[in-house]
Amino acid sequence: MSLLVEKRILLGVTGGIAAYKSCELTRLLILAGASVRVVMTRAATAFVAPLSFQALSGNPVHLDLLDSEEESAMGHIRLARWADLILIAPATADFMAKLRAGLADELLGAVCLAAEVPIALAPAMNHAMWSNPATQDNAACLVARGMSLLGPAEGGQACGESGYGRMLEPADICRAVEKFFSRSQLSGISVLISAGPTREPIDPVRYLTNRSSGKMGYCLAQAAIAAGAKVTVVSGPVALPPPYDAAVVRVESAADMFDAVMSLAPHQDIYIGTAAVADYTPVAVAEEKIKKSKESLAIQLTRTRDILAAVASLPNKPYTVGFAAETDHVEAYAKAKLEGKGLDMIAANRVGQPEGGFDSPDNALWVAWNGGETVLPLASKQTIAIQLIELISENYRAKHSTKNSG
C-alpha cells in the first residue's frame, strides 16, 4: 500500500515551462491515494489552464488571495491547515526568492507563510539561473529553515541548453513525496558515503583518474537525508553542487580518501562505498614536470589500500555496503567481493556500456546481502538511490533487531 493513501497534498504550481509536468504529477499523486488541492500563481496559468488541474485533482483550483468568494470558501489559512505537506512543483527561481523573503503578495506565498507542515520544492529553471549564487543562497536558506529540495536533475532543458535545473520527473517526485511520510526510516542514524573518483598524482601537473562523476554517491546522500539520516560525504574531485544538509569532506587521492574515511567510519552506523577509488597509484611522484625526452615512458604503480575492506574489518564496524563496477560476470565477481571483504551488502553495476554506470544520469543495480538479492532496473540515479536506501534501511534494521533480541 502506498504511503500516500489519505495524505493531503497541497500542490503549488509556479510559472515555468515544467508546469505541464505537474499535470502528470497530480495524476500520479491521486493514483497513489492522496487528496490533492492545487494552488497556482498568476504566471503558472500562462503555461497550463487551471481547468486541467481541476479535472485531474477533482477539486477547484485556488488562484487569488483577494478573491472574497474563495477566501470565504477556503482561504490561505484554511488551505495551509488542510495540507499534510505542501509540494511546490515546479518551483521557479523567482518563487524561491519570494519564499525566502517571506512575500505574501500571491495566494501561494501566503499559504507557505501560514504553513506549519513540511514544505518541499522541486526547482525547475535554466541551469545558469540554478547555479547563480543568488539562487544557491536562497536554496540553502530555505533548506536551513527546514524546507526540502527535490532535485533539480541534470539534462536537456526547454531553452535548448543543458545542465542542472531540470525538474525531477513526476514519478521521481511522487516517490520522494512518499518517502516524506516515512522520514523516520533512518532518523537518528549516521551514514558515511564515499563518492566520486580519486586522482593519483604522477608529477605536479598530471594524474591518473577515472570516469566517475560522483552522481551515484551524491544521489545516495540526498536520498539518505530525505530518509532522515545524518549524512557525511567523503568526496573525490567532482563538479557537482554539494548535497544539501550533508557534511562534505573533499579529498584528492586514494590515500587521502583512506585517511578521511577511516577517521570517520568508527563513529558511523552505515558506510556506503560508491567512490571509484584507484586500485593503483604511482610509486613515486616526480617533483618536477616530467619532460618528453624519451620515446616511451614507464610509470611504476603500486596497490592502494582497500578502504572498503578496512572499514569492514573495524572491531565495531558500521553496516558496510560496497559497490562493484564490473564489465562482465557481474553477479559472480560482486558475490566474491561481498564474501571476500566481509560486507553486509553489495550493489553491483555493469560498467563500460552506453547506459548506466560511470558518468551517466541513469543506473541499474544487482544488490545482494546475506540471505537475499534483488534487481533495481535501469532508472535515474535519483530513483535508484531512493530504492537502495530503502533496501539498506530495511536490512540495517533487520540486522539490529536480531542483534538486540539475540
- Annotated catalytic residue 159: yes
Residue 216 binds ligand PMT, judged by CB under 6 A: yes
Residue 214 binds ligand PMT, judged by CB under 6 A: yes
Residue 56 binds ligand PMT, judged by CB under 6 A: no
| C-beta of residue 95 within 8 angstroms of C-beta of residue 126 | no
**Alpha helices (H) along 83-132:** 93-101, 107-114, 127-131
- Shortest Å, Cβ 270 to ligand PMT: 13
Nearer to ligand PMT, 19 or 347 (CB): 347
Among 178, 256, 306, 373, binds ligand PMT (CB under 6 A): 306
Considering only residues 135 through 194, tell me which ones interact with ligand PMT, judged by CB under 6 A: 194
Give the residue among 291, 305, 277 at the shortest CA–CA distance from 202. Answer: 291
Listed in order, strand segments (DSSP E) in 157-236 are 162-166, 190-195, 200-203, 206-208, 230-235
Q: Calculate Rg over the CA atoms of the chain.
A: 23
Listed in order, strand segments (DSSP E) in 251-299 are 270-273, 280-282
Give the residue among 397, 377, 396 at the shortest CA–CA distance from 387. Answer: 377
Give the residue among 209, 207, 212 at the shortest CA–CA distance from 196. Answer: 212
Place of cell 505537474: 22
Among 83, 193, 254, 388, binds ligand PMT (CB under 6 A): 254
Nearer to ligand PMT, 44 or 351 (CB): 351
Residue 323 binds ligand PMT, judged by CB under 6 A: yes
**Alpha helices (H) along 265-325:** 307-312
3 state SS of 26: helix
Q: Which helix (H) or strand (E) holds 340?
A: helix 330-340
- Shortest Å, Cβ 251 to ligand PMT: 12
Residue 322 binds ligand PMT, judged by CB under 6 A: yes
Instruction: Please give the Cα distance from 147 to 166 (Å, whole number).
Output: 19
Q: If 0-12 CB within 10 Å is exposed, 13-18 middle and 19+ buried, where does residue 324 land?
A: buried
Residue 276 binds ligand PMT, judged by CB under 6 A: yes
Residue 279 binds ligand PMT, judged by CB under 6 A: yes
- Shortest Å, Cβ 144 to ligand PMT: 27
Among 138, 148, 185, 274, binds ligand PMT (CB under 6 A): 274
Residue 264 binds ligand PMT, judged by CB under 6 A: no
Beta pairing partners, 38: 11
- Shortest Å, Cβ 285 to ligand PMT: 18
Peptide bond into 90 cis (omega under 30): yes
Nearer to ligand PMT, 179 or 215 (CB): 215
Residue 222 binds ligand PMT, judged by CB under 6 A: no
| DSSP per-residue letters across 49-62 | -HHHHHHHHSSPPB
Place of cell 611522484: 285
**Amino acid occupying residue 257:** M
Give the residue among 160, 163, 161, 84 at the shortest CA–CA distance from 123. Answer: 163
Nearer to ligand PMT, 180 or 258 (CB): 258
Q: Provide the grid cell at 72.
A: 470565504
| Stretch of 15-23, 92-100, 128-136, 210-218 lying at the interface with ligand PMT (CB under 6 A) | 210-218
- Shortest Å, Cβ 352 to ligand PMT: 10
- Shortest Å, Cβ 1 to ligand PMT: 31
| Stretch of 35-43, 179-187, 281-289, 317-325 lying at the interface with ligand PMT (CB under 6 A) | 317-325
Residue 339 binds ligand PMT, judged by CB under 6 A: no
**Start-to-end Cα distance in the chain:** 31
Number of Cβ within a 10 Å radius of residue 16: 27
| Stretch of 80-88, 147-155, 304-312, 394-402 lying at the interface with ligand PMT (CB under 6 A) | 304-312
Annotate each residue in 354-373 with x if it binds ligand PMT (CB under 6 A) or - if it does not, as one string. ---xxx--------------
| Stretch of 47-55, 105-113, 175-183, 211-219 lying at the interface with ligand PMT (CB under 6 A) | 211-219
Among 28, 351, 379, 391, binds ligand PMT (CB under 6 A): 351
Among 57, 92, 157, 304, binds ligand PMT (CB under 6 A): 304
Give the active site residue among 23, 141, 159, 174. Answer: 159
Residue 392 binds ligand PMT, judged by CB under 6 A: no
Give contact residues for ligand PMT (rule: CB under 6 A): 194, 196, 212-216, 254, 273-277, 279, 304, 306-308, 322-325, 337, 349, 351, 357-359
Catalytic amino acids?
Answer: 159
